[in-house]
């Protein structure tokens, strides 16, 4: 369990200060000195950082030729494993970053040098109180794969099973904690000092990342993903899921079956093994579509390194650390979005898109409908085989970003998974049509709503909600009545946006009062003049004249005020 704490006015420990210097140095190196200056960081961190942050010039040759997004990617790569993981998370979150940043962060590679076997032995002794040589018949000291969180060794169990053992890097949890604490501090400063950054909610990004990486460093969660995925496809011969050895699995060690196959991107090896590439492509695409539409639980990182092809055209998936899930509501809305677009119904498509997304400021629906219609016009009048999911995804991201709409993370993961599979498929079969392949699944999902069992299930669900409501409502109503009897019920009303109405009402009241007073003065002056109340001036009451002049001044002022507002 990660222990993330906020950094106070001063860095918590020397390790924070040292790491902070390193991070700021890399940011300056890639031309982000202006960002550091705007953060006002010298007010919060020890004075030892002031000299470092006083130099704001990039030290990367030719950095002016690079885009800001490219420099962000390069800085993230140099910042190390934790920041690479953050970049990879952000590359799946269209609700946090603009499309051009997502494209760059998608290029991040999680490849780092392996750690020594002596440290592997230390992890085993910490988890099992025994070295790996005693737990396995054989254990290869050299890993065959290495990443930022851990590395994988080949081994043989005492029962003769060949396994792949993933071992977590020693001290990685403490490293991540320090980096995430610094990230959280920087994000807080960004929200406080940089107005345009506050919209992207950097603090929420870091909090989301902390939750995500906390799951990733717990290997028992990945083991659960593998077992759940395997249960879904028990009856499917075209998919093979490696077995998990639970007795050899902990939070820091994952032991699973070692599967030997051909990477799906090695086209020449597939041909040499006598495998039909077109059949492999069709099977792989159908498996992804079944994951999404039949089960709503899917492998969210199907890149070529995670897909093997076994003899008999069997697909084997690896690395179940990143998974996505779609509930029935999201699947239903997504299918409605596709059907609305297919029928060229801009209004319905825009409305479904609003249901699928979230926003802070309500978008202009007319402008959204116009942009949706433009996007539909680009795709609906071309053959299906010419529609590329990757390009469609980029255009959809651009549209939602323009209207400040946020796509749900799991829906975005699904679209990226489709894009990845399409890229692999077209490598093996240039004529592959992902959209056409998905059409039968979309139709089946649409028709499934009218199946008697689905209707009955929804009726039962609604009935259950109604039953719970009618069961709870009388008790709550009685409680309200009891509070009223005891005179303990307080009702508070708050109004918003009525200030202008109240101000207008006051102005109208004032003008009416002036008009009434003016009319009364005119009538009064007339009565005084007729009565010839002294003193008289040329036989006319002087008081009447004064009152009449006062009424004339007030009347002229009122007329002038009305004409100035141009509301006669």
Determine the Cα–Cα distance for residues 113 and 145; give it in Å rounded to an integer: 9
Please report where in the chains the tokens 């006015």 appear, as a residue. 9
Neighbours of 60 (CB within 10 A): 14
Does the reported pTM lie above 0.75? no
C-alpha to C-alpha distance for 262 and 271, rounded to whole angstroms? 11
How many of the other CB atoms lie within 10 Å of CB of 237? 9
How far apart, in whole angstroms, are the C-alpha atoms of residue 117 and residue 154?
Answer: 13
Q: What is the pLDDT of residue 442?
A: 80
Does residue 404 carry a pLDDT above 60? yes
CB under 8 Å to 350, separation ≥6 — which residues? 365, 368, 369, 372
pLDDT in tens, 417-454: 888 888 888 889 888 888 788 888 888 877 776 667 65
Per-residue pLDDT of 318-328, as tens digits, reads 989 888 888 88
Mean pLDDT in the chain? Answer: 81
Coil vs helix vs strand at 185: helix
Distance CA 547, CA 557 (A): 16
Q: What is the pLDDT of residues 37-67, one digit of tens each?
A: 777 776 555 544 554 545 555 566 666 678 8
The secondary structure of residue 142, as a DSSP letter, is S
391 vs 251, more confident: 251
> What is the average per-residue pLDDT within 12-22?
70
Q: What is the pLDDT of residue 316?
A: 95
Catalytic residue among 179, 218, 301, 371: 301
Select from 26, 349, 299, 34 the least CA-distant residue to 190: 34
Residue 259: count other Cβ atoms within 10 Å of its Cβ.
Answer: 16
The contacts of residue 99 (CB under 8 Å, 6+ apart) are 394, 397, 398, 401
Q: Known catalytic residue: 374?
A: no
442 close to 338: Cβ distance less than 8 angstroms: yes
What's the pLDDT score for residue 99?
A: 75
- Residue 8 confidence class, pLDDT cut points 50, 70, 90: very low
Find where tokens 């999911």 sit: 389
pLDDT of residue 61: 61
**Cross-strand bridge partners of residue 139:** 155
Q: Are 518 and 555 in contact (CB under 8 A)?
A: yes
Q: Closest Cα partner for 357 from 281, 297, 280, 409?
A: 409
Task: Say which residue, 483 or 500, is predicted with more confidence.
Answer: 483
Provide the pLDDT for residue 158: 93
Query: How many other C-beta atoms can be found within 10 angstroms of the C-beta atom of residue 100?
Result: 16
What confidence tier does 395 reach under pLDDT thresholds 50, 70, 90? confident
Most confident range (mean pLDDT) of 80-94, 131-145, 387-401, 531-545 is 131-145
> How far apart are the C-alpha atoms of 241 and 244, rounded to whole Å?
9
pLDDT greater at residue 232 or residue 397? 232
Structure tokens at 417: 């998974």
Greater confidence (53 vs 461) lies with 461
Token duo for residue 9: 């006015």
Say what the pLDDT of residue 551 is: 78
- Pairing of the two strands 262-263 and 307-310: antiparallel
d(CA 56, CA 36): 8
**Per-residue pLDDT averaged across 248-264, rounded?**
94
Exposure pattern of 135-147 as b/e (b: 16+ CB <10 Å)?
A: bbeebeeebebbb
For Cα atoms 260, 276, 296, give the angle at the middle one, nearest 5 degrees: 70
- pLDDT of 489 reads 67
């Amino acid at each position: 369990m990660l222990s993330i704490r906020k950094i106070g006015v001063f860095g918590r420990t020397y390790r924070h200060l040292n790491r902070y210097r390193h991070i700021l140095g890399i940011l300056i190196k890639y031309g982000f000195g202006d960002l550091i200056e705007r953060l006002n960081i010298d007010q919060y961190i020890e004075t030892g950082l002031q000299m470092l942050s006083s130099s704001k010039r990039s030290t990367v040759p030719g950095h002016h030729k690079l885009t800001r997004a490219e420099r962000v990617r390069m800085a993230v790569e140099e910042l190390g494993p934790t920041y690479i993981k953050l970049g990879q998370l952000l590359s799946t979150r269209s609700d946090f970053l603009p499309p051009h940043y997502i494209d760059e962060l998608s290029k991040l590679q999680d490849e780092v040098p392996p750690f020594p076997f002596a440290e592997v032995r230390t992890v085993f002794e910490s988890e099992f109180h025994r070295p790996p040589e005693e737990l396995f018949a054989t254990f290869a000291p050299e890993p065959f794969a290495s990443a930022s969180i851990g590395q994988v060794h080949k081994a043989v169990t005492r029962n003769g099973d060949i396994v792949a053992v993933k071992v977590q890097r020693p001290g990685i949890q403490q490293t991540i904690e320090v980096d995430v604490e610094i990230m959280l501090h920087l994000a807080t400063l960004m929200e406080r000092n940089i107005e345009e950054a506050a919209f992207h909610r950097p603090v929420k990004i870091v909090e989301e990342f902390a939750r995500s990486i906390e799951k990733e460093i717990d290997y028992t969660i990945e083991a659960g993903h593998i077992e759940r995925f395997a249960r879904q496809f028990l009856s499917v011969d075209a998919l093979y899921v490696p077995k998990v050895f639970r007795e050899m699995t902990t939070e820091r060690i994952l032991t699973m079956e070692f599967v030997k196959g051909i990477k799906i991107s090695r086209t020449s090896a597939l041909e040499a093994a006598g495998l039909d590439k077109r059949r492999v492509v069709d099977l792989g695409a159908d498996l992804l579509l079944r994951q999404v539409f039949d089960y709503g639980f899917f492998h969210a990182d199907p890149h070529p390194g995670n897909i093997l092809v076994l003899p008999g055209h069997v697909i084997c998936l690896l690395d179940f650390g990143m998974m996505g899930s779609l509930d029935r509501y999201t699947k239903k809305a997504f299918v409605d979005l596709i059907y609305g677009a297919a029928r060229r119904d801009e209004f319905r498509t825009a409305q479904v898109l609003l249901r699928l997304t979230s926003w802070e400021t309500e978008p202009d629906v007319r402008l959204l409908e116009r942009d949706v219609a433009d996007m539909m016009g680009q795709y609906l009048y071309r053959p299906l085989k010419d529609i590329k999911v990757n390009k469609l995804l980029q255009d959809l991201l651009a549209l939602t970003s323009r209207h400040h709409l946020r796509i749900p993370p799991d829906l975005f993961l699904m679209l990226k998974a489709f894009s990845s599979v399409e890229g692999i498929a077209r490598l093996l079969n240039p004529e592959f049509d992902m959209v056409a392949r998905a059409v039968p699944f979309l139709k089946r999902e649409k028709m499934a709503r009218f199946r008697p069992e689905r209707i009955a299930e929804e009726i039962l669900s609604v009935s259950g909600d109604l039953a719970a409501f009618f069961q709870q409502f009388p008790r709550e109503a009685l409680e309200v009545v009891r509070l009223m009897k005891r005179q303990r019920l307080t009702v508070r009303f708050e109004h918003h946006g009525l200030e202008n109405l109240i101000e207008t009402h006051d102005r109208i009241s004032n003008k009416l009062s002036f008009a009434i007073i003016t009319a009364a003065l005119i009538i009064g002056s007339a009565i005084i003049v007729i009565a010839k109340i002294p003193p008289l001036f040329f036989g006319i009451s002087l008081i009447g004249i004064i009152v009449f002049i006062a009424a004339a001044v007030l009347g002229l002022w009122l007329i002038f005020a009305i004409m100035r507002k141009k509301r006669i």
